[in-house]
Chains A and B, each alone.
Chain A
Amino acid sequence: MSFSSSCPSQRPALALSRAPRVEPLAARTASCGEKVRQQGLAELYAAMAWRRTLVLLCGSACLLASLLLDVATGPALLPVRDVARSIFGTAQDASVDAIVWSIRLQTALVALVVGAALGLSGAMMQTILNNPLASSYTLGVSAGAGFGAALVIVLGVSLPVPEAYAIPLMAFLFACLACAGVYGIGATRDSSPEMLLLAGIALLFLFQALLALLQFVASPEALQQIVFWLFGSLQKASWGKFWIIAAVLVACMPVLAADAWRLTALKLGDERARGLGVDVRRLRLRSFFLISALTGVAVAFVGTIGFVGLVAPHIARMLVGEDQRSFLPASALYGALLLSVASIASKTALPGAIVPIGIVTSLVGVPFFIWLIMRNRRAFW
């Protein structure tokens, strides 16, 4: 039996893609099958693994470059070499050190961890709902966070926390509430991806309506504050916020590592995954917990940045496929890279002004995304 690929695959890195064109059956089996058999599946697997590692390494290198550039750009343009020296502790200029360490590095690092958290949560969302449109933005989680923030701004709900953390805390709580709502409504039937998606879209509209209601009754000052919060901004970044988001990211890793094969199995559909021995309900519930923590903590501190959670998983999928062992780290990595680049753009687009990052992310991201999906002929999701 032989199903040799009669049209050459587009992936040049693998020897297997050089399958022969249609030949007599016996020749086909002998030439193609034998060639691959000689090469061995272990070598093929190693080549695939190496290719993915390379994608992650390249992404990391770009991320480092982007981080340096992000720190270097601002009202006073710093030489990248000085920035690198300051970050690695060999600075010669105290003023550069001061700018880097007290202002810019924390903002740049918050951009990275927020991008990573949004990319990762979007990737998990798309995997557990088996839908390329899913992200914390399209399923109402960000809208929930926005409503929570607006609630504090308009009603001045007093919380037993410092003022700088009151809005993030409420935003976080409402993001988690929205997540719980999506899961809760979905679970009343069968927790199927379709039910969860419909529940998410319903909640998106609900929270948008509630947010509009708050804006309608808000004073002009409060309205301005809400609108600015919704734009998304990195300007309130601090080391404290960076460590909180980074801690949540790190805490998710062991769970994701343990669940990587389960999530991969879920890509084959619920029934196949269950047939393989995956407890699909518990996996979804656990993933929703992680998603709500990741999205909640990310949007709480910087506002609703929608696009990253949708587009980073798509980039990752095109580069490494959907084996979650590489798909999830790649989504986090490219989410971080996207937001870091957007952060640079937000500081350089208009001279003398910093455009809110949420606006830049979509303005830069949408054309890139459309280009990406148009040029990718192998897309079938």
Chain B
Amino acid sequence: MRLTVNDLSVRYGATAVICGLDLVAEPGEVLAVIGPNGSGKSSLVKAVAGLLPHGGTIAYDGRRERPRSIGYMPQDIGVRTALTVLEAVLLGRFGKLGLRVGASDLAAAEAVLVELDLVALASRYLGELSGGQRQLVFLAQALASEPTLLLLDEPISALDIRHQLEVMETMLRVTRERDLTTLVVLHDLNIAARFADSVVAMRGGRAVCHGRPERVIEPAMVAKVFDVQAGMSIGADGRRIVTPLKAL
């Protein structure tokens, strides 16, 4: 699904959190959104998910109405509830579920649980899981809806480095395999540079830079967007690494 955002503005009461933002995301590609706290990243994702009133236009394959096939994963807010992991993932199929859960829904949930290696947790309650485990469950939920547009708000913020890598690899793989359009909010610049096809850097509700990761994620941008002096080096795998040095 081709996502086109034109002149987007979002206000909470009198406060404008996004103003005049333009964005294009193509099918089969990962678009990373980076920026300091309060720069409007989550509001952007919520607006695209159809959960916030907004000005400007958001078009999904050229159409204005919100499609059903959006897989949305909000930030973790510590859901403590007596729902099992399996039920939470089944909820991703909301709208297709009957009072009796059909074999196709179970099969879809199983496929996602296997994909994220969560099968062993299937009968555990969400309230018993760690924050990182819960993040994986909600990623599974978003994928179980068989989306064409995947919106992930900080999907790896509570994960250890191994799971960070694995979630990002899974995200990239399903994006390519299923030709999804994926919008992902990230705080780790090097992860964004490594896994995104394009990057939007936001500050004060505006898109400061938008382009290929190697163009956006470099010391000058980091200084401009984050007020942080950064250095650049070449990592063991030959990739460029941005290292934050000191706050400006």
Contacts and interface: CB of A to CB of B under 8 A. Distances in A.
Contacts of A36: 119-120, 122
B51 A275 contact: yes
Contacts of B234: none
A348 B91 CA distance: 47
Interface in A228-242: none
A225 interface: no
B33 to A, nearest CB: 17
B97 A322 contact: no
A264 B120 contact: no
A1 B160 CA distance: 11
B88 interface: yes
A48 B87 CA distance: 11
Contacts of B120: 2-5, 16, 19, 32-33, 36
A277 B68 contact: yes
Nearest to A274: B51
B86 A45 contact: yes
B136 A45 contact: no
Contacts of A2: 117, 120
A267 B80 CA distance: 9
Contact of A267 (B83, B129, B136): B83
A14 B123 CA distance: 8
Interface residues of A, number: 46
Contacts of A261: 91, 94, 97
A76 interface: no
B168 to A, nearest CB: 11
B80 A264 contact: no
A42 B94 contact: no
Interface in A175-228: none
Nearest to A258: B99
Interface in A22-61: 29, 32-33, 36-37, 40-42, 44-45, 48
B14 interface: no
Contacts of A268: 79, 81, 83, 88, 91, 126
A9 B123 contact: yes
Nearest to A4: B120
B114 interface: yes
Interface in A275-300: 275-278
Interface residues of B, number: 56
Nearest to A46: B106
A137 B59 CA distance: 47
A4 B136 CA distance: 13
Contact of B99 (A17, A262, A276, A325): A325
A25 to B, nearest CB: 9
B8 interface: no
B74 interface: yes
A171 to B, nearest CB: 33
A378 interface: yes
A317 interface: yes
A9 B166 CA distance: 26
Looking at A5, A48, A268, A381, the one whose CB has the most chain B CB atoms below 10 A away is A268
Contacts of A41: 86, 106, 109-110, 113, 119, 122
A84 to B, nearest CB: 33
A276 B94 contact: yes
Contacts of B183: none
B208 interface: no
Looking at B106, B120, B138, the one whose CB has the most chain A CB atoms below 10 A away is B120
Interface of A: 1-5, 9, 11, 14, 16-17, 19, 29, 32-33, 36-37, 40-42, 44-45, 48, 257, 260-262, 264-265, 267-269, 271-272, 274-278, 317, 321-323, 325, 378, 380-381
25 contacts: A1-B116, A1-B136, A1-B162, A2-B117, A3-B120, A5-B120, A16-B122, A17-B123, A29-B117, A41-B106, A41-B110, A45-B86, A45-B101, A45-B106, A268-B79, A268-B81, A268-B88, A272-B74, A276-B94, A276-B95, A277-B68, A277-B95, A323-B87, A325-B99, A381-B82
